[in-house]
Structure 1
Amino acid sequence: MGSLMERVAGAPISWGVCEVPGWGLWMSAGRILGEMRDLGLQATELGPQGFLPADPRRRAQMLRAYGLVLAGGFVPMVLHDPAHDPLPEADRAMDALGEGTPLVLAAATGLDGYDERPDLGTKNWVTLMANLDAVAARATERGHVAALHPHMGTVVQGRQEVERVLDGSGVPLCLDTGHLFIGGADLQFLARTVPDRIAHVHLKDVDADLAARVRDGALTYTEGVRSGMYRPLGHGAIDIARLVATLEDAGYEGWYVMEQDTIIDTEPPAGAGPAVEVEAGLRLLREVADGLR
């Protein structure tokens, strides 16, 4: 796909655009895409339904106007219910994404938001593994990659659950540095030991104290985000530079999607707001890229 900086994408959630009802203000797609372009990003993820045009051709035309392409689509999907077949939903998601775009799955609970989740029984885990493999296989048949995104408030969020998925299925992972850190995973260990299972990367940095409070249940996920749990890359507890270097050394060739979940209540003036934090993260990634030459 190209050099490191040619594989850096943005995400609407860094500008506060989220699929959770009542999350916060959505700024216009035009403003967000324009700021992505001005920052030098190469691509964007899809964002939630309604943010970009649903028709792939209209969406591609809109993105081209800003010098961007589509890097992936985040699709929460119930995968653990024996009475629910996720393949029709996966097909619709791939139809909407367009040819070859990565399908970034989250193992949704079926509840709104990410502040509570059920405990799965054995039958649910068996179903989850079978459905992960089935969706991944369908994606391959259709020329896509499906990657499971461990995510707080879904049925796969913590270290033990990620290990269970790695052992019990063949689905690739979306390595989301923030969610995995909050869930207690060792990011460097994953990057070193299972690089062949990493098909997509979301880059986040986090405030360690707030992450610990979310992990322990003292704060909900939403409260953690609103309190500033996600920090600009290089300004939190995760050694982003080292992780990216490890992935590059291991031969990773996919997208790095900059994601710093935020909640916006009022639209900031031009030149302020989320773009400033994304720009700080880009400076770090340029330093990493310079060090890899």
Structure 2
Amino acid sequence: MKAKLGMSPIAWWNDDLVELSDDVSLEECLRQSRSAGFTGMEMGRRFPSDPEVMLPILKEADVTLCGGWFSGTLVNEELAANKDRIEPMIELFRAVGAPCIVYGEVGRSIQGDRSAPLAQKARLDDDEMKAYARKLTEFGEWCAERGMPLSYHHHMAAVVETEDELDAFMNHSGAGIPLLLDVGHLVFGGGDAMRAIDKYHARINHVHVKDLRLDVINGLDRTKQSFLDAVALGAFTVPGDGSLDFEPLVKRLAEHGYEGWFVVEAEQDPKANPPLKMAEVGYKELMRIMTAAGYTVETQGFPRG
């Protein structure tokens, strides 16, 4: 069994909360994560959009682009508009050899609105969810036909947040839209990550190992505080620094035959939680867990040859 370990640049620069960002260059971000042991990095705002510019940077850092977020709006906009916006990203990701594009639904979402309490997030009725899931399946199939699979990211404060919502989405969608399992978001939303692995392992093509500080989450007033409030308060961190036990989850993924990326996505204050130190903590813990689960972790970053 093989696994790859990556990070998200959100540990260095946060796109939604500027105050949770360090003045660190892309090159330094890649250098730090690679020095900690990670061989992949998901795309962030400081990445160039030209593959001829990006590839030398990745090669110099010995890092692979292991994914990246697309802000989808299929819940309230047409397929055509989303196809037009994702087409350049597909071309870029194909050119640099990325494994997938992470589809994050921002339509009707309050994840980026600090004034909107968590309890006010939009909920789809059965007919809306069925139509949405079918549209995502069609969109995923269209992207895959162009050589770039999607990975659907269930997310706090979005239309697919809870385990029940994930179940409804998965039941009404098809294999054309694979799943990104984000353990932290699922547990934050009250879900059972082990149960989700057992039910949906055949469609999981990407995994985010986002740890939680449950004391922060349990202390939230969801009628008054937003998702971004939770982030600012330190709800998220790296494996080995939080409350979740990833070892049984990773073992279960291995039992189901998952081989692919495990990506640390841990947005928090980089001044209080230096990203290099956090990367080292996360990598050490993940290597312990991967070894226990029977994985061989790939050590090569940028593809050679």
Question: Do these two structures clear the TM 0.5 threshold for a shared fold by scoring above it?
Answer: yes
Tell whether 2:142 aligns with 1:146.
Answer: no
Tell whether 2:170 aligns with 1:160.
Answer: no
Q: 2:122 aligned to 118, 124, 143, which one? A: 118
Name 1:131's counterpart in structure 2.
135
2:32 counterpart letter in structure 1: E
Equivalents in 2 of 1:29, 1:226: separation in Å? 23
Tell whether 2:60 aligns with 1:54.
Answer: no
1:176 counterpart letter in structure 2: D
Deviation larger for 115-124 or 90-99: 115-124
Name 1:34's counterpart in structure 2.
31
Equivalents in 1 of 2:259, 2:221: separation in Å? 31
Number of aligned residue pairs? 282
Name 1:97's counterpart in structure 2.
93
TM-score (norm 2): 0.84
- Report if aligned partners of 1:183, 1:215 keep a CA contact under 8 Å in 2: no
Deviation larger for 203-212 or 65-74: 203-212
1:35-64 CA-to-partner distances (Å, cap 9, x unmatched) read 01211111100113xx11111232121111
Name 1:220's counterpart in structure 2.
226
- Report if aligned partners of 1:114, 1:152 keep a CA contact under 8 Å in 2: no
Tell whether 2:215 aligns with 1:209.
Answer: yes
Cα separation, partners in 2 of 1:139 and 1:292, compared to 1, 3 Å: same
Equivalents in 2 of 1:63, 1:203: separation in Å? 23
Shift of 1:209: 2.7
Higher relative contact order (CA 8 A, sep 6+): 2
Name 1:290's counterpart in structure 2.
291
Cα separation, partners in 2 of 1:249 and 1:81, compared to 1, 3 Å: same
TM-score (norm 1): 0.87
2:159 counterpart letter in structure 1: V
- Report if aligned partners of 2:216, 2:235 keep a CA contact under 8 Å in 1: yes
Q: Secondary structure at the match of 1:246?
A: helix
1:105 counterpart letter in structure 2: Y
Deviation larger for 272-281 or 38-47: 272-281
1:240 counterpart letter in structure 2: F
Equivalents in 2 of 1:122, 1:262: separation in Å? 35
Shift of 1:218: 4.6
Name 1:68's counterpart in structure 2.
63
Q: Unmatched 5+ residue regions in structure 2?
A: 295-305
Identity of aligned residues (%): 25
CA RMSD of aligned residues (A): 2.3
Shift of 1:123: 5.8
- Report if aligned partners of 2:180, 2:207 keep a CA contact under 8 Å in 1: yes
Equivalents in 2 of 1:137, 1:122: separation in Å? 23
1:3 counterpart letter in structure 2: K
Deviation larger for 69-78 or 97-106: 97-106
Q: 2:9 aligned to 7, 12, 27, which one? A: 12
Shift of 1:248: 1.4
Name 2:267's counterpart in structure 1.
261
Equivalents in 2 of 1:68, 1:98: separation in Å? 16
1:206-235 CA-to-partner distances (Å, cap 9, x unmatched) read 011322345834532112111111133133
Equivalents in 1 of 2:122, 2:200: separation in Å? 28
Shift of 1:289: 2.6
2:275 counterpart letter in structure 1: P
Equivalents in 1 of 2:31, 2:124: separation in Å? 42
Cα separation, partners in 2 of 1:88 and 1:131, compared to 1, 3 Å: farther
- Report if aligned partners of 1:232, 1:281 keep a CA contact under 8 Å in 2: yes
Q: 1:80 aligned to 75, 83, 91, which one? A: 75
- Report if aligned partners of 1:130, 1:169 keep a CA contact under 8 Å in 2: yes
- Report if aligned partners of 1:82, 1:124 keep a CA contact under 8 Å in 2: no
Q: Secondary structure at the match of 2:230?
A: helix
Name 2:303's counterpart in structure 1.
none
Shift of 1:23: 5.2
Name 2:196's counterpart in structure 1.
190
Equivalents in 2 of 1:114, 1:193: separation in Å? 32
